[in-house]
Structure 1
Amino acid sequence: MATNQNSSAMLMLLEPTVARDWVKESGGTASDGARRAMETEAGELLQALRHGLEQGGDVDALDAPAWASLRDALEGLSRSRVAQGQTAADTSAFVLGLKRPLFNGLQQKLASDPQATMSAMWAITLLVDRMAQWTVSSYQRTREEVINRQQQELLELSTPVIKLWEGVLAVPMIGTLDSARTQLVMETLLQRIVEAGAQLAIIDITGVPTVDTLVAQHLLKTVSAIRLMGAECIISGIRPQIAQTIVHLGIDLQGIASKANLADALAMALQQTGFRIERAAA
């Protein structure tokens, strides 16, 4: 019965002026455009809140089916704030700003019934706090999704497969090699070998700062996969320091062609594929 009474009391408070008072409470020094956007967000949240209350939603269980539209609205708010570059704290503070307009409405409408006022105030506090918590969780999930997507895009941009010559592909490696990046390089390179019908692939490690046992193992796996596709591989960019490291680590690169720079690797690749380049007479 108390839950029904609190729901009825909150429904009574959700007047059109609440959205304006909410934005006034949370807007601060925001521009006119930002205030209009906040009013739209506030209106959508209030509409979803009204729907949940009408469905008999319990303020202690925001994950109940009755609050589905409210959860969707909160997640939409979080995605919007992530895209705008705002923080989780700012987003949560905006939701918490709903308390004051509702409390002001309680004082006006239920002033003659202190017990009902306290009960409704507690229900409002629980519900709005849970809304703010849900918003923070949604914000963090959305932010993690954005970061993961950006990392994937950076990986793809940092491992381009370039066609150097007919039947010759090259992959310039820049930065540290790890399992995830090696897997992406392997998948991209093998796909391009199939599409281009390439006979030779050059893996240039000039931009790789260090080569340890793990990096060498990743390179060997990539070379093995290339050979299984019927192509050969040349590793270029092996600097003196990297050569010494490979020898000291006891890494066996026998059977894998290697060159000091990409130009030498390309010359070797052209020779192996039957091309010969000569300087034109002056």
Structure 2
Amino acid sequence: MIAKSFSRVLLYTVLLLAALFFLAPLYVMLATSFKDAEEIRSGNLLRMPGSLNFEAWGLAWSTACTGTDCRGLKPFFWNSILMVFPAVLLSTLWGAINGYVLSMWKFRGSELLFGFMLFGVFMPFQVVLLPMSQVLGWLGISSSVGGLIFVHCLAGLAGTTLFFRNYYAAIPKELVSAARIDGAGFWLIFLRIIVPLSTPILMVTLIWQFTNIWNDFLFGVAFSGADSKPVTVGLNNMVNTSSSVKNYNVDMAAAMIAGLPTILIYVLAGQYFVKGLTAGAVKG
């Protein structure tokens, strides 16, 4: 009994220390963002701010300079909003249809096609930068938010297809067979039978895609124009903009603003993400 209690205490101690170590950078960012310049110079990283000073947050949002543009992160943030929601919804819907076809309506060569699609999961995105830029130019959507949406839909398609295909493969085929006998077609089966059973994998895919697209920097810096840069590019430009005095509190506030949507997503919907994974989202 004593050994069991000791093991439990040791386990919780290790987990607590790991959590503190993991959350330390977040604490430093948040605490520094509420300090003024004098408090930062006279204190240390781990010291709590004397008061909640939101001046750095206001500067980071609306007046801090990113190169020659001194409008803060606000325009970049709204560019990311305009980009992320269509890209997440389209790539999820597209992946759901692909997974439905590849698991429930197999055809000759479907397994080979799925195997080729899996290359997209493991292929480094750097190798597609040049051909993708040419395609965007041919389509007339280069350096635009629409072009970024298109790129992220294609980049995320392999992953979303993998998620849905493996999840739908576990659904009894008898449901689809019975519906086909009753006269239901391709879309009716998908909408009336498959979609209602897809809540766990939908949550996993939506959260996964939102996180990947919102936090992306490579595609944002490669394919965006002056008026379509996402928040990650704006944050990078702000932090690397040289000035006479380095405003660490503004940089930390900007980093918190850029990361706030993904933090909120996992705080509010993280339990659904875990439930979706344990329900077989990546089993196959």
TM-score range, shorter chain: under 0.3
Greater length-normalized contact order (CA 8 Å, ≥ 6 residues apart)? 2
Higher relative strand content: 1
Structure whose alpha-carbon radius of gyration is higher? 1
Higher relative helix content: 2
TM-score for the superposition, normalised by structure 1 = 0.25
